Amino acid sequence: MRNRVREQRTQQGLSQAEVAAALGVSRQTVISIESGRYLPSLPLAFRIARFFDMTVDKMFDPEDEETGS
């Protein structure tokens, strides 16, 4: 599953530490989410989407899983 966390964060000129502090998670977790190694829980996914003023389905794209690519 792809996500736009890194894209949105860099667009807004934020560091991973700043995003982590805003979301109440560790910097390491933001790194893991950005790299796709960790899928956040639904509550955290909503927090991420709201933080970047997006909807969850815009922030997280399941296309990779559905196409198997």
Positions in the binding site for other proteins (CB under 8 A): 24-29, 32, 38, 40-41, 44
Question: For residues 5 and 17, what is the distance between their CA atoms, to the nearest angstrom?
Answer: 13
Shortest Å distance, C-beta 11 to other proteins: 24
Closest to other proteins by CB, 32 vs 51, is 32
Shortest Å distance, C-beta 7 to other proteins: 20
Query: Which helix (H) or strand (E) element contains residue 25?
Result: none
From residue 53, alpha-carbon distances to 5, 42, 62, 66 in Å are 11, 16, 19, 25
Shortest Å distance, C-beta 32 to other proteins: 6
